[in-house]
Structure 1
């Protein structure tokens, strides 16, 4: 089962970084408005470099 965040935010299970789709991730060229589900498979946490699969709905 896949859980989705009501806010669209996802949190890294290792370092606690929160991906906010309203902000995107400018460090990796992800523009504001990009939902977590549309991040590329090779996207990683900008803080600890963990894979996208380590994130959970916030």
Structure 2
């Protein structure tokens, strides 16, 4: 059974990255896991770096 999709929140603007939805505007297809998001990806709302996100869904 596949792991459930998780969500991550930008600590600067509260944008949510949802693995189930991805970020198609940035080339991240729905279902893209957080660990597969490139380190140089930036928040589409405020420009923060990936490291500025925190996990909000945990098991």
* TM-score strictly above 0.5: yes
Q: Which residue in 2 is equivalent to 1:23?
A: 21
Ranges in structure 1 where 5+ consecutive residues have no aligned partner: 1-5
Deviation, structure 1 residue 7: 5.0
Q: Which protein shows a greater Rg?
A: 2
CA RMSD of aligned residues (A): 1.3
Ranges in structure 2 where 5+ consecutive residues have no aligned partner: none
What TM-score does the superposition give when structure 2 sets the normalisation length?
0.83
Q: Which runs of 4+ in 1 moved over 6 A?
A: none
Aligned residues: 53
